[in-house]
Structure formats: C-alpha cells, structure tokens
Structure 1
Amino acid sequence: MNFTKKAVLAATTTIAGSAFATFAMADSYVIGITQNNVGVDSYQTTYERAFIAAAEANDDVEVVVLDAGGDVARQIAQMEDLIQQEVDAIIIWPTNGEAVIPAVRKAHQAGIPVIVTNSNIAEQGFDFVASFSGPDNITQGSRSAEIMCDKFKDMGIEDEARVVQISGQPGYTTAIERQQGFDERLPEVCPNVTLVETQPGDWNREKSQQVMEAFLVKYDDIDGVYAGDDNMGVGALNAARAAGREGIIFVGATNFSVGYEAMEAGEYWGSIYQSPVDDAEAALKTALDVLNGEDVPFLNYFDTPKITQDNMDEFTKPVF
C-alpha cells in the first residue's frame, strides 16, 4: 500500500463497531483500531475516550474505532473488515497474543502497517508488526516485586513472608509478562520470600475477590498479595476486609483510582503508575510516525514509575 495515498474511507462507529460510513477526504490518513474489551475495566474505557479525543484534535486523521468485547474471533473479523476497508494503518489491542497473529500477518501482507498497543502479541508475530506502543509489562512486574520486597524489609519479615498472586487473563500477553516480571524479580531481591500460589483474576474485581476468598480459606498465613492491576488488587483487599484479615501488604501493577484511594486510606501499599491517556496518545502518535516514515523503535515504551503510600503525593489520582 502507498502510505501517502489520499484516504478515501472513514468510519463512524459505535463501541460495537458495526456502522461504517464512507466519504472522501484529502491528504489525510484513516487509522483503524480494534480494542480488547472496553467494557471490562475503566482503564480501557478511559483509553478509548482519550484515543478518540486525540484523533479529533488532529485534522489529518480519521479513525475507525472498534471493540472486540474480549472475543478473539470477533477481533479477527474486525481485522478482516479493516483490511477490506483499506485503512492506512491498524492499531490492535490484542485479545490473545497468539490467536491474532494470522490476522496481523494478513494486514502486513496487504501492505497495511500494524501497531500493537498496550499488550504485545506473541514473539512469532513480531515480523508482521511495525511497532509496539505501550508499557514494558515485564518491568512493571519486576518493579512491583521490588515494592513488595522493600516493604517486607521495612517490616523485618523478608526472611519469612508468604505471598499469593492474582494474575490477569490467561493467554493475555500483559498478564503473562507482568507475572513473569514479578516471578523472576522477587527471588532476586527477596530470596527467602515464598510465592505460595498464583490464580487468574481475569482483570475482574469480583472474580479476584472470589480468588482471594479461596486463598484466605486455604492459607492461614498470607503476608502479601500481588495483583496484575489495582482493579483485581482491590477485589482481593475487599475479601481480606470481609474476613477480618489485617496486615496483608497489597501491591498492584497498574494504579487505578480505587487503588489510589485505598492507598490514601492506608489499606493498599503500592502499585505502578500508568496513564491510559498517555497510552492512547502514544499509540496514535506511533501510527502516524510510522505512516510519515519516521524512525520508530520496534518496542516503543513509555515509562511507568513506582507509586506507594510514601510517594503518592507526587502523582495525581488516576481518572480511571
């Protein structure tokens, strides 16, 4: 595809992404995006709003905004639709890092550059991707392990502490990488801390509360909980509150407003600060840079620093 050709198609979509409208534009790009599951948490909802706002602020771009609703088959069909529409670039927030590879390859073969956002696809698909825009999830997991270890050392329990982990959705690259970062880093910084068990919370607060309830029944001694994001972490916190289990250290890997509030209340120790607005704006900018022939790194990370009760006054409360 000639990336400098005049875009002839644009679309107006609902979140479901079913309504397409065609009209002519001059000297602009049409960029399609298929998201993971906007309804699953407030991070993705905020991301979508920020992405649309960034596109509306740029006169040189029209966007086709689609949402897979967490359904891999639906996302693959949306990729097919975007390819048929001959958009200039596609941004994909993968529902599953391996299952979407054939669709990404098909876009690549059609000459449409693909930018992966937020959660990368599996490595065997890297040859078909122009760039990944998002956080370094392994680093996030590693930093969460450091936050937890530092707290255990302050408490003097680094040689005996026991930790349970609530991971994200199985098969989802972000979940895999955040768990990997935590699992690898924790024994490096706190070799005597025991990671007792890991169970998925599927990015869902209610499910994570149920997982934590089961942990609390199964284990009399839990000193720390690591959750793949604060949405799940607060679900675990709610279970501990209801069970009267005090003194557990809760650490997440993406700071939500509910996590920030729990930190203010002294019930939740720390997390990783990640802005969905930065995430969305970075994805759109990466796509435009690729289309404009800029030198874009394959792994185009934005920074996600540690946030704890000790330094949270340096950060504004998340809007999601």
Structure 2
Amino acid sequence: MKTTLKVLITGTTAAAAIAFAGAASAEKIKIGITQNNVGVDSYQTTYEKAFKAAAAADPNVDVVVLDAGGDVARQIAQIQDLTQQKVQAIIIWPTNGKAVVPAVRKAHEAGIPVVITNSNIAKEGMPYIAAFSGPNNIEQGKEAADMMCKALNNKGDIVQIAGKPGYTTAIEREKGFEDELAKACPEVKIMDTQPGDWNREKSQRVMEDFLVKYPKIDGVYAADDNMGVGALNAAKAAGRAKDIKFIGATNFAVGYEAMAKGEYYGSVYQSPVDDAENALKTAIDVVEGKKVPKMNYFKTPEITQENMKQFTKPVF
C-alpha cells in the first residue's frame, strides 16, 4: 500500500519536487505554495508548520512548499516553475504585491487558479487571482486606530512604525490606521512614520531615534507586535515606557506577555494557524469548483488588557 506523498522543499525551483510528487495517486490535488520569508519571524514559521500539518491531514492533497526567502526574483521563478509543471492551484504569499503580478497573470492564462495568502496582491493583479485568503489589513489598521483613540482619550502625539516598504500588508495597515485616526480622533497627530521591516531589532533602533527626536511621545502604533515590542524595549531602556501607549497588530506571544504585565495597551488577534488552514482550504475549494468569496477574510478581533483573558496566548 502506497502512503500519501507530501513534498516539502525550499529551493528556487519546484520542478524536481513536482516530478517526484507525480508518483502519488493521479486523483490527488496537487497544490504549490510559495511563501514570503519563513525565517523572518515566528508568525511565518508557525504558518508554514500549520500549512504542512493541514496538508498532511488531507489524504487527497499533495503539496509543494516553497520559500522565497524575501527575494522577489526568487519568488517569481518559483511561480513560473509551478506554472510550467501544471499544478492544479498555486498559493502565493507575495514578497511584493506589485512585482509578482506578471507571473500571476501567466499562471492565470495557463488555466491555473492562484490564491493569494496573508498579504494581498496589487490592484492590477486582482483580475488574475481566484481568491485572496487572509486578514483584512485595512480593517486591522482601523481597529488599531480606534484603540489608540481610546488609549489617549482622543488627544496626543504619536509615532508609527510601519512594515516593510512596498509590502501590501504594510501599505494597507498604514492606510487603515491613518484614515481611521483622522476620522475618529483628529486631535491625535502622527509626528513621524518609519519602517521597521517586521524586525524587532530594527524597530528598537527606530524607536531609539524617535525618543531622541521627540521629547514627548504619547503613543506608538506598530504594524505588528514583533516591532511593537522592539519599540517598547527601547522606551523601557530610556525610562519612558510608562508615559507611552503601545498598540500593535498580529498579536505575538511577546505582545500578549507585555499586555499581561500592563506594558502594552492592545493589538489585533491574528492566528497563523487559521491563516494557513484557510489558505489551503480556499485553494482546494477553488480546484473543486466550489463557490469561494473573492476576498476570503478570517476574523481578527481587537485584543487589549481588558479582554485578553478571552484569548489563548499565541504560539508564535
């Protein structure tokens, strides 16, 4: 009896892996995924583990798991390889939502449905995808802005640590936050915005510069908790953390722990397990011809010191 084959690779080409996967039953759905950068943070690491586990649990699916390592050219090559090998669906976590559009268009023209996961593709790529699976990052930005308004009682001066420039999630969270802040509490002013590139150490350095530049900072919005805790660490080292409200997104374990200590005001709860499982299910449903929403969001509620006991501590 032949066991179900699960192919897991991280190289620049999928060709050998897919050829190997061909040994599995012809009835199996073959799905390829190219991820953004698995090693950059614990969210992406947990996502990959959850994706592999979900695929392994489904006897009707074979998967090729690739990682672009944050390299746009590498991801484009992976998409091209998956297209040439005629997998039945391609899942893409874009390294850059605009740069991947031509490769996505070619996959679409080859009759291969594309599901974008976690961070959306640029607007011009939307006609070529079957669905987006992930969080609503505009809404997450709005939720963070509403928390900031409440934390500062609708008045104060803040700084913003954005994600990686050009990355759709970073663009959308920044837009959602800024638009809602201007609408909900216009007396809360953003003094400065700098990218933290989803990196805690870089965000700590960004915050150190902010602390030197601005003698009064009432709040910090970071586009994820990894960066938010980096900012918190800088403020603690400078002896100014108690005067600042910290709000993030994608609640990491370190953010949850800082909330429990009363050092971190709030975040947006987002599970990488839900993210991964939703992406795989969306791709399978598309291949099977089921009706799938074009924007297939999963829920990402606000989490603060007040309601955090309703949520389990993140595993990432």
What TM-score do the two structures reach when normalised by structure 1? 0.94
Task: Note the C-alpha offset of 1:26.
Answer: 2.8
The equivalent of 1:6 in structure 2 is none
Deviations 1:137-161 (A, max 9, x none): 00000000001111111xxxx33x1
Task: Note the C-alpha offset of 1:17.
Answer: 5.8
Structure 2 SS opposite 1:39: helix
The equivalent of 1:53 in structure 2 is 53
Deviations 1:279-309 (A, max 9, x none): 0000000001101111111000011000000
Task: Note the C-alpha offset of 1:24.
Answer: 3.6
**2:255 alignment partner, one of 256, 259, 282:** 259
**1:187 alignment partner, one of 182, 190, 193:** 182
The equivalent of 1:208 in structure 2 is 203
Q: Which amino acid aligns with 1:207?
A: K
5+ residue gaps, structure 1: 1-9
Task: Note the C-alpha offset of 1:86.
Answer: 1.1
Deviations 1:204-258 (A, max 9, x none): 0000000000000000010000000000000000000111113200000110000
**1:280 alignment partner, one of 276, 281, 284:** 276
| C-alpha separation in 2, matches of 1:48 and 1:318 | 15
Deviates more, 1:15-24 or 1:135-144: 15-24
The answer to whether the 8 Å contact 2:12/2:74 transfers is: no
1:219 aligned onto 2:214: yes
The equivalent of 2:40 in structure 1 is 40
**1:228 alignment partner, one of 220, 223, 227:** 223
Structure 1 SS opposite 2:65: strand
**1:178 alignment partner, one of 158, 173, 191:** 173
1:316 aligned onto 2:299: no
1:244 aligned onto 2:233: no
| C-alpha separation in 2, matches of 1:280 and 1:12 | 17
Structure 2 SS opposite 1:138: helix
Instruction: Report percent identity of matched pairs.
Output: 67
The equivalent of 1:121 in structure 2 is 121
| C-alpha separation in 1, matches of 2:239 and 2:256 | 21
Task: Note the C-alpha offset of 1:11.
Answer: 6.7
The answer to whether the 8 Å contact 2:9/2:64 transfers is: no
Cα separation, partners in 2 of 1:257 and 1:16, compared to 1, 3 Å: farther
The answer to whether the 8 Å contact 1:90/1:113 transfers is: yes
Q: Which amino acid aligns with 1:304?
A: T
After the TM superposition, list the runs of 4 or more consecutive aligned residues in structure 1 that deviate by more than 6 angstroms.
none
The alignment of Structure 1 onto Structure 2 pairs a total of residues equal to 306
| C-alpha separation in 2, matches of 1:79 and 1:16 | 12
Structure 1 SS opposite 2:62: strand
Deviates more, 1:13-22 or 1:298-307: 13-22
| C-alpha separation in 1, matches of 2:8 and 2:36 | 16
The answer to whether the 8 Å contact 1:17/1:65 transfers is: no
Cα separation, partners in 2 of 1:263 and 1:16, compared to 1, 3 Å: farther
Aligned alpha-carbon RMSD (Å): 1.1
The equivalent of 1:95 in structure 2 is 95
Structure 2 SS opposite 1:191: coil
